[in-house]
Amino acid sequence: AEIELPPSIEGALQARIDELAPGDRDTLLAAAILGRSFRAGELAELVEQNVSRSLRSLTSLDLLERELGSEQDSEPGMDLALDLATTRGGPETLHFSTVSLHEVCKAQIPPASLEQLHGRAAEIKLRRRDYGPGRDDGPIADHLMHAGRYAEAFAPAMRAARHAENVAGNVEAYYYLTQALRALDSDDPRRFDVLLEREPILRAWGRRRAQGADIRQLLAIADNLEGIDRSEREQKQVVASLRLLRFYLECGRTHRAARLVPRLQAKVHALREPEHFLAILGELESELMFARGHFEEAETIARDAMAFCSGDSRGVRQRVRLLRAMGRVQLGTGRLQSAGETFREALHLARSIGHRRLEGEALNNIGEVAGRSTHYQEAIDCFKAALAIDRDLGDRFATGVKLANLGLAYTAIGLYRRAERYLRKA
């Protein structure tokens, strides 16, 4: 006899869902709205009825799983936990057994009820007693987007993105920044600030085309801003133009960078408070002079720009960048001792403000000095420490530089197989 098999995994899962009792099926589909993981009490609130019996049934069928490490490991304990969670809004958490099952269930929800259910889910999660701004805002933003409540979705999407950035979650931060952009009209001036936060993520990933597109949007928004005073508009134009100048330098387009600098100088000097921007411009001008072989001028520009750095954390960050610009000139002209001292000062300042990306760059620079001084073990230690930071931050562009430096260091000491492995990864 022939055995008839479903045409796909999704088909098999759909057949299992169709075989459920109507109450259990409705409970499972409603749970899919809340996410792959959900709280039993929030599901009961969403469907406005006690769902403990259905949850026990679905768990026994291995369609749902309880959170690992829960205190109630026995069957009676599980029953009690579910009853308390669904009747008192407790935090008992369950999961769909597979990602595929969750996706199939989401696809079965009638479109007519989707917006209403997602809207209610957002309100329920926002009312959590243990709600944490940023930490819990991502799913709330998603629910509001699915509910078509775009204006309300913007704020939680931005909080979720900033929370993700703080815990080095670039992928999640990029997702929620993109959600925030989708929530805004094309002429909304708030797009400027969102793009300003998204562009560095694309830079870290080495996605130059997408990064350039974001910078072009920044420039267009800055040029067309309405409803703000002239000084604020001019400041945003300077910010966008500085991003463009940095982009040109990183892509090796020095001729375009050289043409942009005079226009930027005029714009910066026209600002009411130009000091912070003069410090950034000094860093970028120093990089341009270094790239064109004007070493003495590059170091002088960076040193002079230090006077514009304030004493707050933002000013210290810029001071670190200027020190690194000076150190690169010193390294490039063979003044290894001076370069080492400059980079160590940059490392100390970066650590004093807890800026891990700048710390990683300073460690890499110290490793380069050590390598040039034939202190290869010190160089390797610095490169590995910098590489670990870049991997934590998800910075692919910077990771490649450290991998290449490790490859060169191992080549210098004759460990060619290890060197080849790192160079291939770079």
The model's pLDDT over 213-249, given as tens digits with 9 standing for 90+, comes to 999 999 999 998 877 788 899 999 999 999 999 999 9
Which has the higher per-residue pLDDT, 333 or 87? Answer: 333
Please check whether residue 216 lies inside any domain of the structure.
Answer: no
Sign of the dihedral through C-alpha 18, 19, 20, 21: positive
- Please report, for the domain that includes residue 383, its CATH number: 1.25.40.10
pLDDT at 33 > cutoff 70: yes
Say what the pLDDT of residue 73 is: 46
Please check whether residue 204 lies inside any domain of the structure.
Answer: no
Contact 108/33 with Cβ under 8 angstroms?
no
What average pLDDT does this structure show over 9-25? 92
Say what the pLDDT of residue 123 is: 96
Question: What percentage of residues in the chain have a pLDDT greater than 70?
Answer: 92
Among candidate residues 57, 85, 109, the one where a domain is terminated: 109
What average pLDDT does this structure show over 246-260? 96
| β-sheet bridge partners, residue 38 | 94
Of 40-49, 130-139, 222-231, 282-291, minimum mean pLDDT range: 222-231
Contact 322/306 with Cβ under 8 angstroms?
yes
Among candidate residues 76, 109, 142, the one where a domain is terminated: 109
Number of structural domains found in the chain: 2
Please check whether residue 40 lies inside any domain of the structure.
Answer: yes
Which has the higher per-residue pLDDT, 71 or 4? Answer: 4
Please check whether residue 186 lies inside any domain of the structure.
Answer: no
pLDDT at 81 > cutoff 70: no
Give me the domain span that covers residue 46. 9-109
Say what the pLDDT of residue 77 is: 46
Please check whether residue 243 lies inside any domain of the structure.
Answer: no
| β-sheet bridge partners, residue 65 | 95
Please check whether residue 411 lies inside any domain of the structure.
Answer: yes
What average pLDDT does this structure show over 383-391? 93
Please check whether residue 26 lies inside any domain of the structure.
Answer: yes
Which has the higher per-residue pLDDT, 3 or 306? Answer: 306
pTM score:
0.79
Distance between CA 271 and CA 27 in Å, rounded? 60
* Mean of pLDDT over the chain: 90
Q: Which residues contact 9 (CB under 8 A, 6 or more apart)?
A: 100
CA–CA distances in Å: residue 66 to residues 85, 99, 248? 12, 15, 52
pLDDT band at 425 (very low <50, low <70, confident <90, very high): confident
pLDDT at 172 > cutoff 50: yes
Say what the pLDDT of residue 174 is: 93
Say what the pLDDT of residue 85 is: 52
Among candidate residues 109, 125, 159, the one where a domain is terminated: 109
What average pLDDT does this structure show over 378-391? 94
pLDDT at 86 > cutoff 80: no
- Please report, for the domain that includes residue 92, its CATH number: 1.10.10
| β-sheet bridge partners, residue 93 | 39
Please check whether residue 88 lies inside any domain of the structure.
Answer: yes
pLDDT at 362 > cutoff 80: yes
Say what the pLDDT of residue 166 is: 65
Distance between CA 49 and CA 27 in Å, rounded? 10
